Chain A
Amino acid sequence: MSETFGAVVEQLSRIPGVRGAVIAEKDAGVAVVQELAEGVNGNALAALAASLFRRTAHAGRASGFGAVSLVQLEAAGGHLLAVEAGELVLVVVAEQGAQLGLIRLEAARAGKSLA
Chain B
Amino acid sequence: MRRTDLPRLVEALREPIATFVRESRVRIALLVNGAGQVLAQHGFTHRYEVMNVASLAAAAHASSRALAELTGAGRWEHLHHGGASRQLFLAPLRTPVDELILIAIFDADSSLGLVQVFYEALEQDVAALPEFKAARHGTDQANFERDLEAGLEVLSPDAE
Contact = CB atoms under 8 A, between A and B. Distances in A.
Interface of A: 24-25, 27-31, 43-44, 46-48, 50-51, 54
Query: Most chain-A Cβ atoms within 10 A of its Cβ — which of B110, B112, B113, B114?
Result: B113
Contacts of B113: 24-25, 28-31, 43, 46-47, 50-51
27 contacts: A25-B113, A27-B108, A28-B82, A28-B111, A28-B112, A28-B113, A29-B111, A29-B113, A29-B114, A30-B111, A30-B112, A30-B113, A43-B113, A43-B117, A44-B117, A46-B113, A47-B111, A47-B113, A47-B114, A47-B116, A48-B114, A48-B117, A50-B111, A50-B113, A51-B110, A51-B113, A54-B111
Contacts of B111: 27-30, 47, 50-51, 54
B20 to A, nearest CB: 14
A1 B160 CA distance: 53
Interface of B: 82, 108, 110-114, 116-117
Query: Most chain-B Cβ atoms within 10 A of its Cβ — which of A27, A30, A44, A47?
Result: A47
B23 to A, nearest CB: 10
A43 B116 contact: yes
Given A29-B112, A44-B117, A47-B113, 9 more contacts: A25-B113, A27-B108, A28-B82, A28-B113, A30-B113, A31-B113, A43-B116, A50-B113, A54-B111
A78 B113 CA distance: 23
B151 to A, nearest CB: 30
B116 A51 contact: no
Contacts of A54: 111
A10 to B, nearest CB: 22
A48 B114 CA distance: 7
Contacts of A46: 113
A66 to B, nearest CB: 20
A85 B110 CA distance: 20
Contacts of A28: 82, 111-113
Contacts of B116: 30, 43, 47
Nearest to B23: A48
A51 B117 CA distance: 12
A51 B116 CA distance: 13
A100 to B, nearest CB: 26
B4 to A, nearest CB: 38
Nearest to A49: B113
Nearest to A29: B113
